[in-house]
Structure 1
Amino acid sequence: MQKRTVILMIGIDPAENTKYGVRVSLQLARPQSFRSAGTDSPDTEGKRAVVVSQEGEDAADAIRKIQLSTDRRLFFGHTRAIVIHQQLAKRGVMDMINPLLQSRTTSRETWLFVSQTPARDVLEYTPALDAIPSTYLSNFFENRLLLKHSYEATLGGFHQRLTTPGIQPVAVWIGAADKNLSAPRIHGFAMFRGDRFAGALDQEQSLGWMFVTNQFPKSILAFDCPHHQGGRFTVDVTSVKSRMRVRYEPGRPPQANITVRLRGWIQGGICVQHADRAELSELTRQVKTQVEELVNTSLKQCEAADTDIFGMGRDVYRFSNEDWLGDDAWNHAFARMNTNVKVDVRLQFLQSYTRIQLG
């Protein structure tokens, strides 16, 4: 028998009893195979994981206190997610995640979340589709339901972006539980300036960022009908590919040209009636217009926060290194970015056996 306590998730909240301390909560797997029948307490009966918390001056201090209160050595090799309260993330997260980054056992593919609600609450959710919240979240990202390249939302992805000139880190932005699934509700993506939380993109704004950074997975999206007020039609997006070119001279606003190519099938909706050439052309124009709006809205949100999560500065650093003056200078320049967005949309009707070509 290995005397280990397996940590599945970590939650970090502001301390309740001190102004600057933190409260660390650990979701621990219960070693059911080592228990005999009838030994469960009423509070833990039937649960596969329990949550324990301690306050400390920092995360390492709180974890040490938890270690001293259990008879097994804490093991972080199976930790699947870290949840940090939004209020704490504004102070900076490196002091909290650095011990895990330096650990030999903690996986760099551990998911990183910023939560509007207390992190301990997230650890205590019991999703309807899985008895262990960490497994539910792991499956969600490993199946690429949210991001095409899920590493961007992990501990390792955060650190990689943080240490790469010209690109700022992101994390998944979550809130209170979805009542139907009893699982964290994903609101969008948290933006960072350095290691400090600087703002967030909601779900629609996140789509613009995902389009530009080639992060959008194959999925179905709904768009507004051109002429039916309140009506929507759905598109099965099969691929999104983008290209970005940035020009920058110190002292002048940067220029960026972004091209987004979207391909997909029109599935249906109230405004899909004739499935003819004219209708296809009209719906294609509508998708093009809305994708442009999504990208521009996302860019404006990032510019307002002075944080380049698109990686435009990375292109300047790589291809015009003589003009690179550092991340701080670039973030201020990024806020004055002049951007030209071009969207190329090619759609087909799902029920058509022959491809309809646009002239």
Structure 2
Amino acid sequence: MSRHRFIKLVLAVALIFLLSGCWDGVELQKRAIVLMIGVDPSQQGDHNVTVSLQIARPQKFGSSPEASTGSGDENTVVVSRNGVDVIDAIRKIQLSIDRTLFFGHVRGLVVNQCVAQDGVMAFVTPLLQARMASRETWLFISKNPAENVLHYTPLLDSIPSTYLSNFFENRLLLTRPYQATLGGFHQRLVTPGVEPFAIWIGEGDKALSAPAIEGFAVFSEDKFVGGLNQKQAVGWQFIENQFPKSPLTFRCSKEQPGQFIVDVKSVKSRIRASKGKDGQPRATIVIRLNGWIEGGTCVKTTNQKELKALIQQVQSEVETMVQSSIKQCRQLNSDSLGVGRQLYRFSPKVWKGDTWWSETFPHIQTTVQVQVQLDFLQTYKDIHFNPKTSTL
């Protein structure tokens, strides 16, 4: 063996002793895998919150992804403790079980709206700093106790957190879903002129054992101030340019009963905020909707006049949803629409700070323009209607 090869062999052997290996590894059977975290107000005077952890029982999960056929307690267990803060309550849960809590699979943080009214960053920040929840974790605000949500055991999936995450993604289909997570919440919180939001949930279908989506929870800074119902949430999606490619149902008309379906191909929205002639900020929201009519009880003819009436009906209902969303955000004094963000970006000389905008936003004049272009399968013609403008 040459001297050069001998030196390489000695170095290779020496490097083996420098490898640390899995010195800090924890065996799977010694882990308590946390799937969801719930936060409720504490019923004890010396404690502030009650924290609930939904913990998986791996020995109850089969090798195949079949639906759960038994009670939820067979697959998961919910453990709750009171604490001065979230970390204190989680520490007490850790001391009460024989396994090490593992938060690598947490999919959702459920917060009771009674707690959220006082602010959520007081317990979101410690969870992120301690790496107990990732920035991609969904944030839910619940009308009901968060512990009840963690007890939901969907029959269509053996892992409750997986079912709920897939259900919310399928139901919302946001163009930018990250904004509904803990990371997105914090990102919007520190951005001038826009307030954060979360998914607002309530009691759902008992047969499926899953919560229902009420709409979007909106905030003033990090404090929950109210919610947008489902129609207002659709209007919010239009304004925020977050409406997905999805069908919508519209009424035929006030005179004619029935409904028709529009398969939305694309939605493009634009907000422009500037200083008006009176010196006060004003905003213009332009929404362009493209799609085709799939059918309905009032889609029976190729008469151009009737088809244009349907387009006008779509414009009217979209405008109503958008205006309702704007009105609700004004009443709650929560600019989750991002009007102030546009003012801050395009008219920085007008911007006078977050406090000024909080006082100005409820009184800002907003103009809405809705443009609709639809394809009718009966005629294969492209029919569009002039923009409809309204001011609120």
Q: TM-score, normalised by structure 2?
A: 0.84
What corresponds to 1:301 in structure 2? 328
1:355 matched to 2:342? The reply is no
Look at both structures and tell me which one has the larger radius of gyration over its CA atoms: 2
Equivalent-residue separation in structure 2 for 1:68 and 1:188 (angstroms): 37
What corresponds to 1:76 in structure 2? 103
1:288 matched to 2:321? The reply is no
What corresponds to 1:38 in structure 2? none
Q: What pairs up with 1:173-252 in 2 under 5 angstroms?
A: 173-248=200-275, 252=279
What is the deviation of 1:175? 0.3
Percentage identity across paired residues of the two chains: 54
Equivalent-residue separation in structure 2 for 1:59 and 1:293 (angstroms): 41
The structure-2 alpha-carbon separation of the partners of 1:195 and 1:224, relative to structure 1 and needing over 3 Å to count, comes to: same
**Alignment length (residue pairs):** 351
What corresponds to 1:39 in structure 2? none
What corresponds to 2:283 in structure 1? 256
Equivalent-residue separation in structure 2 for 1:212 and 1:100 (angstroms): 32
Equivalent-residue separation in structure 2 for 1:54 and 1:7 (angstroms): 15
What is the deviation of 1:128? 2.8
1:167 matched to 2:155? The reply is no
The structure-2 alpha-carbon separation of the partners of 1:350 and 1:109, relative to structure 1 and needing over 3 Å to count, comes to: farther
* 1:245 aligned counterpart, secondary structure: strand
Equivalent-residue separation in structure 2 for 1:260 and 1:51 (angstroms): 45
Root mean square deviation of aligned Cα: 2.3
What are structure 1's unaligned runs of at least 5 residues? Answer: 36-42
What is the deviation of 1:235? 0.9
Contact persistence 1:225–1:283 (CA under 8 A) = yes
Q: TM-score, normalised by structure 1?
A: 0.91
Equivalent of 2:165 in 138, 150, 175? 138
What corresponds to 1:14 in structure 2? 41
* 1:139 aligned counterpart, secondary structure: helix
Contact persistence 2:109–2:138 (CA under 8 A) = yes
Equivalent-residue separation in structure 2 for 1:73 and 1:291 (angstroms): 51
What is the deviation of 1:280? 1.6
The structure-2 alpha-carbon separation of the partners of 1:250 and 1:197, relative to structure 1 and needing over 3 Å to count, comes to: farther
What corresponds to 1:87 in structure 2? 114
What is the deviation of 1:141? 4.3
The structure-2 alpha-carbon separation of the partners of 1:351 and 1:65, relative to structure 1 and needing over 3 Å to count, comes to: farther
What is the deviation of 1:107? 1.8
Contact persistence 2:47–2:83 (CA under 8 A) = no
Equivalent-residue separation in structure 1 for 2:91 and 2:73 (angstroms): 28
Please tell me the residue identity of whatever aligns with 1:175: G
Contact persistence 2:189–2:195 (CA under 8 A) = yes
Contact persistence 2:196–2:336 (CA under 8 A) = yes
What is the deviation of 1:327? 1.4
Contact persistence 1:44–1:50 (CA under 8 A) = no
